[in-house]
Structure 1
Amino acid sequence: MNTTPAPTSNPAATPPKVVLVTGASSGIGEAVARRLAGEGHQVILTGRRTDRLDAVVAELRRDGRRAEAHVLDVTDRDAFAALVTDVIAARGRLDVLVGNAGVMLLSRLDALLVEEWDRMLDVNVRGLYNGVASVLPHFRERGSGHVVTIASIGAHEVAPTSAIYSATKYAAWALTEGLRLESDPAIRVTTISPGVVESELAEHITDPHAAELMVGYRAAQIPPDAIARSVSFAISQPADVDVNEVIIRPTAQR
């Protein structure tokens, strides 16, 4: 669990927003939820591990923060749309979607772990556009909104074992950039591409070769709150400022 203390107030004096964060039960998603709730925003934490979500929300509420947990599989388009509808009905609006849910199942192509490739495509790409499809009509009707995609440095480079993962993150980058170009200026769009961040992602790699390579690659890491701070920065800008893209990684990662 991320124990980074949340700030007691919003440093940018941003009016409170209603923010939905996917993949918020751990890692970057949890850190984003904690930071934004600490800055006074109403945060909806979503994910599949309800025990983790409930624990984070309980802690935030004990500290006087506004947070709630909802189970969500981002690959289920109907469930995503229904949740967004419910949030808007209960809160009157939704201001920000942070599309963070993702998996990183690295392997060489000749390992032929096709089911894992399918899983990455489903979560990292389908899960993202399901979110966009769910929030975009509301954003267009209101004339405002913000989509923040947590992509990866893998959207900008390919390494041995990362071909499919990088393909999904290139797709996430392209999808988000296309949304920015197609949207009315009142709808803001940000892509954040983290480098190596402390998280559970590497623990799910099943390919022994890829897992071994990750040991050295992940020697230099930054805490997930470093990414959360960049999300906070992006959504705290005045309405006429759109932070298009941020790449953030350890200084030792080259």
Structure 2
Amino acid sequence: MAPFNTILLLGATSGLGESAAKRLLGQGKKVIVTGRRQARLDALKAEDLETYAMDVSDIAAIPKHLDTLFSTYPDIDTVWINSGIATRYSVKDINSCTDADLTLEVTTNLTAAAIIARHTIPHFLARGEDVESHFLITTSGLAFVPIPFFPVYNACKAGLHYFLVSLRQQLKDSPVNIIEIVPPFVATEYVVKNRDEAPKNLQAMSLKDYEDEVFAQLDNIPAKELKEVAAGPSVLRVKTWRDGLGAMIAKPFAD
């Protein structure tokens, strides 16, 4: 089983986050799920998950929310960020999105994660040198190989990847493990509903196959050894980066 005991899953009321929450709950873990939609939170609470209403795009409120969560659940040893939004737009067409759309996308996907890390990592370190903790973010295979119609989403996910590489370098001698989850195109509820928007030759990996592949690594490989946990087509993308630019980065800074 995954080495996590009490997990705070941020942005996990649907899709990959909800799937991970239920998988961990099935392993007997204590799981706290956050999200914006109260109806989804109520449905998950009925399935024995702990829930908490929180919108990560409200940056100013994040520290207070985290203080409340860590006070309510002092045994949290894992924080896993799944929240994210993708805006499909063309730079050729100014009407395909608004400035507010792009600002919200960067805030939700990248800025919020940095703020959450800033307030979470010191809390984990304060638990002591012998107490292992885990900080995870779900990025995307698009962090490594972008596609043209989600330009800001691609950039945010690439930024998260390098953000996690940097955190891992800073924390290499600490008990805090930094893990990046790298999904491919997965057949989540959202993807199924919006399949007409996807390229016709792009095949989505089933949610079950994705989950099985990710948890085969989380369940069986020591957390300290994990860096990027990829599945499906993302595996080759991560390996190519690790064997190339990743190897260059590891020379001056072991990650």
Given the alignment, which residue of 117, 133, 138 partners 2:102? 117
Deviations 1:90-147 (A, max 9, x none): 2323211111100111222223323322221011101211221221120111143211
* TM-score, L = length of structure 1: 0.79
Residues 118 and 203 of structure 1: is their aligned pair in 2 closer, same or farther, counting only changes over 3 Å? farther
Residues 180 and 189 of structure 1: is their aligned pair in 2 closer, same or farther, counting only changes over 3 Å? same
Residues 200 and 80 of structure 1: is their aligned pair in 2 closer, same or farther, counting only changes over 3 Å? farther
Q: Partner residue of 2:245?
A: none
Q: Partner residue of 1:147?
A: 135
Contact 1:195 1:249 in 2 (8 A): yes
Which runs of no fewer than 5 residues in structure 1 stay unpaired? 1-10, 62-66, 206-210
Cα deviation, residue 237, structure 1: 4.5
Q: Partner residue of 1:3?
A: none
Cα deviation, residue 77, structure 1: 3.3
Q: Partner residue of 1:138?
A: 123
After superposition, where does 1:173-184 map in structure 2 within 5 Å?
A: 173-183=161-171, 184=173
Residues 236 and 37 of structure 1: is their aligned pair in 2 closer, same or farther, counting only changes over 3 Å? farther
RMSD: 2.8
Contact 2:134 2:177 in 1 (8 A): yes
Deviations 1:173-209 (A, max 9, x none): 111111111114311001111111122555898xxxx
Pairing 1:40–2:28 present: yes
Give aligned pairs, total. Answer: 229
Given the alignment, which residue of 184, 203, 223 partners 1:219? 203
Tell which deviates more after alignment, 140-149 or 36-45: 140-149
Contact 1:193 1:247 in 2 (8 A): yes
Distance 2:35 2:120 in 1: 17
SS in 1 for 2:8: strand
Given the alignment, which residue of 184, 193, 203 partners 1:195? 184
Given the alignment, which residue of 39, 42, 65 partners 1:83? 65
* TM-score, L = length of structure 2: 0.79
Contact 1:151 1:192 in 2 (8 A): yes
Residues 72 and 249 of structure 1: is their aligned pair in 2 closer, same or farther, counting only changes over 3 Å? same
Distance 2:203 2:29 in 1: 34
Residues 44 and 79 of structure 1: is their aligned pair in 2 closer, same or farther, counting only changes over 3 Å? farther
Which runs of no fewer than 5 residues in structure 2 stay unpaired? 238-255
User: What amino acid is aligned across from residue 204 of structure 2 in structure 1?
Assistant: A
Deviations 1:4-26 (A, max 9, x none): xxxxxxx46x4x61111111110
Contact 2:57 2:104 in 1 (8 A): no
Residues 152 and 40 of structure 1: is their aligned pair in 2 closer, same or farther, counting only changes over 3 Å? same
Q: Partner residue of 1:69?
A: 51
Residues 228 and 126 of structure 1: is their aligned pair in 2 closer, same or farther, counting only changes over 3 Å? farther
Q: Partner residue of 2:242?
A: none
Residues 98 and 224 of structure 1: is their aligned pair in 2 closer, same or farther, counting only changes over 3 Å? farther
SS in 2 for 1:44: strand
Q: Partner residue of 1:128?
A: 113
Deviations 1:45-88 (A, max 9, x none): 000011111101212x2xxxxx2111111122343222322232
Deviations 1:209-235 (A, max 9, x none): xx8551525433321672476257437
Pairing 1:242–2:230 present: no
Q: Partner residue of 2:78?
A: 96
SS in 1 for 2:181: strand
Distance 2:67 2:9 in 1: 15
Residues 224 and 147 of structure 1: is their aligned pair in 2 closer, same or farther, counting only changes over 3 Å? farther
The share of aligned pairs that are identical, in percent, is: 27
SS in 2 for 1:190: strand
